[in-house]
Copies of this chain bind each other. A is one copy, B any other.
């Protein structure tokens, strides 16, 4: 019997409506494999939805795909999400504040990065002209 494989699941999704939900379905299956509790699983799904939507909406990637790797290592779930888009500078993104958003004329959007960071234990962005890679970690 060959040795046990690494607990790694890879998923490549087309940038199409609702495909972020496909990402959460896979995340849920991986979360069950590591027996992550329901609340933390929902937090992972929320972060993943936001990361996918950002790639779908903003990346301008020509191949129109997101590449997601789920890796279970000990008590940690690591998710790496890549797009081959135009990239962005996360330090230039203004932090959202509800008081400002609640003024008429203000753009209500701009919560994705904040939500990802709040839902996960760590989120790291690497972004440049070849695209964006987000590495997110959730601890059990």
Is A13 among interface residues, defined by CB-CB distance under 8 A?
yes
Is A64 among interface residues, defined by CB-CB distance under 8 A?
yes
Q: What residue in chain B is nearest A22 (Cβ atoms)?
A: B29
Is A5 among interface residues, defined by CB-CB distance under 8 A?
yes
Is A28 among interface residues, defined by CB-CB distance under 8 A?
yes
Q: Is A26 within 8 A of B5, CB to CB? A: no
Contact pattern, A 95-112, Cβ under 8 Å of B = 1, otherwise 0? 000000000000000000
A13 to B59, CA, bound (A): 27
Interface size class of A (residues with CB under 8 A): 20 to 34
Q: Is B11 within 8 A of A26, CB to CB? A: yes
| Consensus secondary structure, chain A interface | mixed
Q: Is A5 within 8 A of B14, CB to CB? A: yes
Q: What residue in chain B is nearest A15 (Cβ atoms)?
A: B5
A58 to B75, CA, bound (A): 30
Is A8 among interface residues, defined by CB-CB distance under 8 A?
yes
A9 to B29, CA, bound (A): 16
A-B contacts, 7 of them at CB < 8 A, read: A5-B14, A5-B65, A6-B14, A9-B19, A16-B33, A18-B29, A22-B29
Give chain A's interface residues, CB within 8 Å of chain B. Answer: 2-16, 18-19, 21-22, 25-26, 28-30, 32-33, 60-65
